[in-house]
Amino acid sequence: MDEFIPSNKMDYYTIEKLRKLPYNEIEPIINQLLEWVEDINWPIAKEICQILIPLDLKLVPSLKKIVGGKDEVWADNCIRYIVKWLSEEAIRELSPELERIAFYPSEDELELELNIFVLQLLRSL
């Protein structure tokens, strides 16, 4: 499956191969693909988000680790560019992690205004 993991931030060739894959074949490499969302300014980052969003509930276990983790920028990117577009059911499964950000944000989450974004997201459910 390594052939479906981008090798650099400009690897549009692999992005095109990923777009042609059935979702069940993308599922085993979710974690590796989410690593590319750590820096949303990388050219392929938003492309990967668009590829991952349709996996919806399949993303929840990996997103729980990221959103509940210590890398607030990565969590911010995942929330703004993936979680926001997931089904209500998927967002509800992430609600413990999201509620922590909304009501007990870290200093970095406050600086990113992630708590405000998450609160609006939760209120929209």
* pLDDT tens digit sequence for 84-111: 999 999 999 999 999 999 999 999 999 9
Amino acid occupying residue 15? I
Which segments of the chain are extended strands (E)?
none
Q: Is the dihedral of CA 119, 123, 124, 125 positive or negative?
A: positive
Cα-based angle 9, 78, 74 (whole degrees, multiple of 5): 70
What's the pLDDT at 1?
Answer: 75
How far, in Å, CA of 66 to CA of 13, rounded? 27
pLDDT lower than 70: segments of the chain: none
Averaged confidence pLDDT in the chain:
98
Give percent of the chain above pLDDT 70.
100
Give percent of the chain above pLDDT 90.
98
What is the model's pTM? 0.96
